[in-house]
Chains A and B, each alone.
Chain A
Amino acid sequence: MKHIINSYENINNTARNNSDCPHVVLPEEIFFTISIVGVLENLIVLLAVFKNKNLQAPVYFFICSLAISDMLGSLYKILENILIILRNMGYLKPRGSFETTADDIIDSLFVLSLLGSIFSLSVIAADRYITIFHALRYHSIVTMRRTVVVLTVIWTFCTGTGITMVIFSHHVPTVITFTSLFPLMLVFILCLYVHMFLLARSHTRKISTLPRANMKGAITLTILLGVFIFCWAPFVLHVLLMTFCPSNPYCACYMSLFQVNGMLIMCNAVIDPFIYAFRSPELRDAFKKMIFCSRYW
């Protein structure tokens, strides 16, 4: 994974004079701004949930898990940019042992954030599904204890998988496992949400004939799934092409847009609080309370 993630570091210094597809270079200020905004937003979500006793319910814990993984992704970007700047200024030795270890840790942070995002989104969809279809037994199925256990298992698995993937990053099975997680989870989430949407549609058909209701549901679902697809699919395709056709000119032209794909993942961390956390009225109220209370200080 190191060669995938760090392959653009030298672009600021060298020119690829034998390629017609120049690497698209985004200024580091953009990366910094987006990452810092992502970290702050997700930190606000975490603070709002931990400060309010009435928000300590399983659904908000799952949203917190998503916020943590988004925050880790943004932190990874910030740390990596700092390391690149330090290297370009000459403070760090190239290929020293400290730099290698630091790079390993940072890469495993990235894979951890990726996997954490994937599993958090799946768990949020499953929780909503249980809320709808097993409503009477919801509080006996989704207890606080089970929530904590599930989140612990998920994050332990993600940490272990992240470390393993970084160690074995140049093997093909690792890449195939990594890239197959994305479509698998997409199909899982799609099935859950479409089933929920079908039930909501048939319900509103029974009690009202407002077509606007269903249109808004369709728009919300499309936004949820569309943001996920648009932000993650480009990077997953990059990893696939990097493994299977690195010297093909078409693949090389796609891989020249690596920084844009990376920025899309950062944008996902910025957009996710708005489409998951701040859709809940209680969390919005808790957030407003926090802002107004801080005004009086």
Chain B
Amino acid sequence: MSAQRLISNRTSQQSASNSDYTWEYEYYEIGPVSFEGLKAHKYSIVIGFWVGLAVFVIFMFFVLTLLTKTGAPHQDNAESSEKRFRMNSFVSDFGRPLEPDKVFSRQGNEESRSLFHCYINEVERLDRAKACHQTTALDSDVQLQEAIRSSGQPEEELNRLMKFDIPNFVNTDQNSFGEDDLLISEPPIVLETKPLSQTSHKDLD
């Protein structure tokens, strides 16, 4: 550090041309840089760096968009149905791509209709989406259970799905997911939300 200060002292005495008092605090300079005999443009590193950076980002963007058009479909495993719930909210968080009514019209499966209905956080779109958002998290899990029952899923898958938790970017009440016990449905709540889920099923047809 002291060597640097000596150098800076010398430099300050040499170059104190346009001010009375100049001091360099920890001014680091090895010596004057000579610009003689440059083969390339002096800003070549700057230009090369920024152009390379821009090319890299654009290349990354094109790779990502190409991935959307080509590529093998994802392997269907046991957890793909659970991943679907999260994918919905994850994709909608990424950029709100899904239209609930278009999704419902293409999907013949009533179970996935109601599930997508609950877990797409498109507040500004439809009243039925708003109705679902206004229900508590417990209600939406009960709707999930209802939908699963109505579509006739086996019991072990039902139990697995009952432990399902909404990930953090979905617009539902977070507090309810502090404990897994809350996901167990109770008969009175089932009865209360039955008309809601039936109405929602009817709306989607």
Contacts and interface: CB of A to CB of B under 8 A. Distances in A.
* A-B interaction: yes
Interface of A: 2-4, 6-7, 9-10, 13-21, 53-60, 87, 90, 94-95, 99, 103, 128, 131-133, 135-136, 138-139, 170, 194, 196-208, 210-222, 225-226, 229-230, 233-234, 237, 241, 246-254, 257, 279-282
Interface stretch (B49-57, B138-146, B148-156, B189-197): B49-57
A219 B95 contact: yes
Contacts of A87: 25
A7 B11 CA distance: 13
A131 B167 contact: yes
Nearest to B67: A201
A219 B180 CA distance: 35
A126 to B, nearest CB: 13
Residue of B64, B90, B173 ringed by the most chain A CB atoms within 10 A:
B64
B87 A203 contact: yes
Contact of B53 (A16, A219, A233): A233
A255 B14 CA distance: 22
A57 B174 contact: yes
Contact of B97 (A217, A253, A257): A217
Nearest to A251: B45
Contacts of A279: 93, 169
B28 A3 contact: yes
B74 to A, nearest CB: 3
B74 A203 contact: yes
B87 A139 contact: no
Contacts of B116: 207
B91 A217 contact: yes
8 contacts: A99-B25, A103-B26, A128-B90, A208-B98, A210-B99, A212-B97, A218-B67, A225-B60
B83 A199 contact: yes
B163 interface: yes
B59 to A, nearest CB: 10
Nearest to A169: B1
Contacts of B45: 241, 250-251, 253-254
A226 B57 contact: yes
A219 B61 CA distance: 7
Given A132-B86, A203-B74, A250-B45, A14 B19 contact: yes
B67 A210 contact: no
A18 B14 CA distance: 11
Which bracket fits the contact residues of B? 35 or more
Contacts of B28: 3-4, 7, 246
A21 B47 CA distance: 14
B25 A213 contact: no
A92 to B, nearest CB: 9
Contact of A204 (B12, B98, B173): B98
B64 A281 contact: no
Contacts of B64: 194, 197, 217-218, 221-222
A197 B67 contact: yes
Among A133, A136, A234: residue with most chain B CB under 10 A: A136
Given A13-B19, A18-B33, 9 more contacts: A10-B24, A56-B174, A95-B25, A135-B79, A135-B85, A207-B112, A208-B98, A210-B99, A213-B97
A241 B32 CA distance: 16
A18 B12 CA distance: 14
A166 to B, nearest CB: 12
B26 A3 contact: yes
A220 B30 contact: no
B35 A218 contact: no
A254 B69 CA distance: 40
Contact of B95 (A170, A220, A229): A220
B73 A202 contact: yes
A54 B46 contact: no
Contacts of B27: 3, 6-7, 9-10
B94 A216 contact: yes
Contact of B60 (A202, A215, A222): A222
Contact of A250 (B5, B40, B82, B90): B40
Nearest to A209: B106
Given A7-B27, A249-B38, A211 B68 contact: yes
Interface in B75-123: 79, 82-88, 90-91, 93-99, 102-103, 106-107, 112, 116, 121, 123
Contacts of B30: 246-247
Contacts of A229: 53, 56-57
Nearest to A53: B175
